[in-house]
Amino acid sequence: MLLRRVFQFFVIYFLFILGLMALKYSLNLSDYVIPAPSGIFQTLVVEYRQYSIATINTMTVAIIGQILSVIMAFVIGITGRQSTWLGSFIKVAAYNIQAYPIVALAPILFILLGDGFLTRLLIAAMICYFPVLLSVLGIMSKPIDDIEHFYRVTNRMRWQLEVKIRTFENLTQLTTVVAGSATLAVAGTIVAEFIAANAGIGYNIRIALYQSDLSKILIALFLIGITVAVYQALLELLGTAIKRAWTGR
C-alpha cells in the first residue's frame, strides 16, 4: 500500500512536470515563467535540506492538529448525536464555526495567539475537523437496530456501548475519513503558514512566491506531496491493522 501510494504520487507529479515542460517548450517560455528541468534539479539540490526540515515541521503540526481534530470531532459527534437540546445546540455551533472562512478568522487568531505553533495547530485542526465531524455525527446518530435492539430491551445499553457498536460497524468508513482528513490537516497547516507563520513549508512557499521562484515552489510541492502520500498510506495501514485486530479479519 505504501509503495503503491508513493509510486502513484510519482506518476502524478511527473505527469504534472511533463505538462509544464510541454507548455514551456511549445510556447518558448523563459526559465522565469517555467523553470527548466535542470533548474528544478539544481534547486532541489540546494534547498533539499532546508525544505525537508520545513516539511517535517509542517507535518508535525499537521499530525498533532489532525489528532486534536479527530478527538474534537469524536467528542462533538458523540455528544451531538442525541436529538436532545444540547445535541442540536452542539451541532449548530459546530456547523456555524465552519461557516466562517478560516482565512477570515486567521487574523483574529494571529492577534490573540501570535503567529507561532499554536495558531498553525488551531487552523490545521479547524480545517480538518469538519469532514471528520460530519462523518462521526452521521455515524453516531444512526442506530444499528439489529444489534442495539437486544441491549436496549434488556436495559443494557450505555452510551459507551452504543458508541462502540456504531464505531465498529462503520470502521471502514471512519478509517477512510480519518486517512482522508490528513490531506486537509496538511493543507490547513500550509495555509496557516502561508498567511502568517514563520516556519514550515507554507512559509517557504510564501518566500519563494516573493522571490518569483517557481522551482522552489515545485520542490515544495514535491516534498509535501510525497510526505502526505506516505503519511496517508501509514494511516491506512494503521486503519487496516486496527480493523484486523478488532474484527479478527
Partner 1 sequence: MSLLCKNIAFTYSGAENPIFADVSFHLSAPGFHSFSGPSGVGKTSLAKIIAGDITSYSGEVSTNGLQTILYSHNKERLPGWSNVDRHLNQVILPSMRSQKDELIKIFGLSDCIKSRFDQLSMGQQNRVNLIRYLLQDCEVLIMDESMSNVDESTRENIILAIKAMFPHRYFIYISHNVMEVAKFCDSILVFRTNGKASPVVMIKGCNIGKGEILSPAALDATLLEIMNAS
Partner 2 sequence: MTHKAKSLTLPACILLAMVLLVTTSVEGKEKVTYRLKWLRNVSVIGALYAETHHLFEKAGLDVEVKAGGPERDAIREIEMGYADFGVASADQVLRARAKGSPVVVIAQLFQVNPLQWMYRPEEMQIDNLADLKGKIIGITFGGNDETIMRTSLAKAGLSKSDVTLFSVRYDYTPFYRRQVQLWPVYRNAQGPIIAAHLDKAQEKTSFFNPAEFGVKFVSNSVVTKSQTLEENPELVKRFLTALLTGWQQALSLENQEEAIKILLQYETNTPHSILEEQLKITRELIHPTTNLAIGMIDEPGWEQTERIMQAQKLLPMEGVDFKTLLQPVDGVNEIYR
Give kind and range of the element (H or E) at residue 193.
helix 171-195
160 touches partner 1 by CB under 8 A: no
* Tally of CB atoms within 10 A around 238: 13
Q: How far is the CB of 19 from partner 2 (least distance, A)?
A: 15
Query: Please, which of residues 135-154 interact with partner 1 by CB under 8 A?
Result: 146-147, 149-151, 153-154
Nearer to partner 2, 163 or 199 (CB): 199
211 touches partner 2 by CB under 8 A: yes
Nearer to partner 2, 11 or 207 (CB): 207
Q: How far is CA 180 from CA 61, 118, 148, 228, in A?
A: 17, 23, 29, 10
Provide the grid cell at 132.
471528520
C-alpha 39 chain-centroid distance: 30
Number of residues that bind partner 2 (CB under 8 A): 24
Residues in the chain: 249
Q: Compute the half-sphere exposure of residue 11: CA atoms within 13 Å on the CB side of its CA.
A: 6
Rounded Cα distance between 229 and 80, Å, is: 32
Rounded Cα distance between 46 and 78, Å, is: 49
Of positions 88, 212, 240, 247, contacts partner 2 by CB under 8 A: 212
247 touches partner 2 by CB under 8 A: no
Nearer to partner 1, 23 or 242 (CB): 242
248 touches partner 1 by CB under 8 A: yes
Query: Please, which of residues 164-183 interact with partner 1 by CB under 8 A?
Result: 164-165, 168
3-state DSSP assignment of residue 169: helix
Q: How far is the CB of 166 from partner 2 (least distance, A)?
A: 44
Q: State the Rg of the chain over Cα.
A: 22
| Contacts (Cβ under 8 Å, ≥6 apart) of 107 | none
The amino acid at residue 6 is V
Nearer to partner 1, 8 or 172 (CB): 172
Q: How far is the CB of 243 from partner 1 (least distance, A)?
A: 11
Nearer to partner 2, 34 or 132 (CB): 34
Q: How far is the CB of 165 from partner 1 (least distance, A)?
A: 6
45 touches partner 2 by CB under 8 A: no
Rounded Cα distance between 68 and 123, Å, is: 11
The answer to whether the CB of 144 falls within 8 A of the CB of 169 is yes
The item of partner 2, partner 1, none sharing an interface with residue 54, based on CB under 5 to 8 Å by kind, is none
Positions that interact with partner 1 (CB under 8 A): 146-147, 149-151, 153-154, 156, 164-165, 168, 246-248
Positions that interact with partner 2 (CB under 8 A): 27, 29-33, 35, 39, 107, 110-111, 115, 195-196, 198, 203, 206-213
